[in-house]
Every structure is written in C-alpha cells, then in structure tokens.
Amino acid sequence: MDRRLFLLAGSAWTLGAFSQPPEPGWKDGVHYVTLPSGQPTAHRDGAVEVAEAFSYTCIHCYRFEPYLRVWLQSKPTFVTFVRLPSQWDDRHRAHAQLYYTLKALGRNDLDRAAFAAIHETKNPLFATDHEETLALQVKFVQEHGVPTRAFIQAYNSRTVSSNLQEDAEFLKQFEITETPAIVVDGKYMTDSDHLRASAEGDENVIFDKLIKLTNYLVSLER
C-alpha cells in the first residue's frame, strides 16, 4: 500500500505569493532537506524547476491531482514543471512506462484518465504478465483515440527506455522514498513526512503547508 501523501498547490501560485513572508520556522532537515548532490532534471537559464515524484497507482497523488491542475494553470512563467514516475516494483515500472509512452506521443493530457481508470473504474492497467499489461494499456489508449501502432512503437522506443533509466537515477539521487514528493531545482526535497507532525496528519493542512514551503524553496532559488 502506498505511503504517499503530498505535494504543493491548492490555491493559485502567483508572483505575488513570493512577496509574502515565509511561514516562520521552516528548517532544513526538519521540514525539507537540502540534497547533497542533486541537479535539476532539466535546465533553462533563469528557470526554477519543480519536479513531482508520483505514481498513477498512488491514492494520495490521485487526490492531489485537482490541486496540481490549479497550480499548473497559474504557476509563474519562470517555474518549469516535470514529473518523475516512481519505479519501486513491477506495477510502478509498468505505470512509469505508460507515462513516458504517453509523453512521447504528446498525450500526457491522459494522465487524469489513467488516474481515473485505476482509482474509479478499478482498471489496474497492470497484470503480472507483461503481455497482459500491454494489452490493458493498449485498450485504455484506444478508448482515448491513440492509434495502437503508434502506442506500441513509442512503448518500445529508445526514447521511453532512456527516460525510464534517467528517471530511476533521479529518484535515487533525490532520495525519494514516497509519493507524491517535490524537488525544487534538484536541490531541495520535501514530502508529507516532513510536515505531517505540524499538520497533525490533516491532508488539507499538509497541502497548505506544502504550498507555502514550495513557494519558499522556489524563492530561495529565484
């Protein structure tokens, strides 16, 4: 069962948010950690990268998705966003391959549909047999207008294979142990464990603190 719970977002992220004083008492090693050798997964001059470690199968990632959508629509232009799908076991790796296949096809608009398939219609998009997993995923994308041949070609492509390998290295480098997790510019990492005590385990309070803490960490880089 996934241990995961968190992320940033909930309310709109604007430049004005960074002019607000940070919540008092944010402490490195308590509320977040500074990674010893982290690097951004992508770089653009003047940009600050926010990366979310997530999984389609993670119930907390699913619950947070609406908050993330709000943030994506209102984030500052100098902030770039990437996702890192977890790869802890065969199920997670299968979903990570689905994510990167959709990305290669320019169809990450189906992320929400993948969440819904797993958590609402109880379609696991995974089976213990690889061919059965592929069949489930092919049927899923067919229902959303993705040609089977294009999906299979992308699924087996070097691009997807390379992305999976790089993703696994970043997850290890960023010391990700649960999802959702946030890494700011490859330097700072936080997750629900770092905020749960001060939020008394309340998910909404944790989300609110993650918004403020992520804004704060972005401001350190900006």
**What's the pLDDT tens digit per position in 157-211?**
999 999 999 999 999 989 898 888 999 999 999 888 888 888 888 888 887 787 7
Q: What is the pLDDT of residue 57?
A: 96
Residue 122, classed as helix, strand or coil, is coil
**Stretches in the chain below the pLDDT threshold 70:** 1-24, 37-44
**Cβ neighbours for 206, distance < 8 A, ≥ 6 positions apart:** 5, 6, 192, 195, 196, 199
Q: What is the pLDDT of residue 178?
A: 87
Q: What is the pLDDT of residue 40?
A: 60
Tell me the CB-side half-sphere exposure of residue 173, using CA atoms within 13 A.
Answer: 17
Q: How far apart are CA 28 and CA 35, in angstroms?
A: 10
Q: Dmax of the chain from CA atoms?
A: 54
Q: What is the pLDDT of residue 3?
A: 43
Q: What is the pLDDT of residue 39?
A: 62
Q: How far apart are CA 159 and CA 100, in angstroms?
A: 9
Q: What is the pLDDT of residue 63?
A: 84
- The domains located in the chain, with CATH, are 1-85+177-222 (3.40.30.10), 87-175 (3.40.30.10)
Q: What is the pLDDT of residue 69?
A: 85
**Cβ neighbours for 172, distance < 8 A, ≥ 6 positions apart:** none
Strand order in the sheet with 181-184: 33-34, 188-190, 181-184, 48-54, 79-85
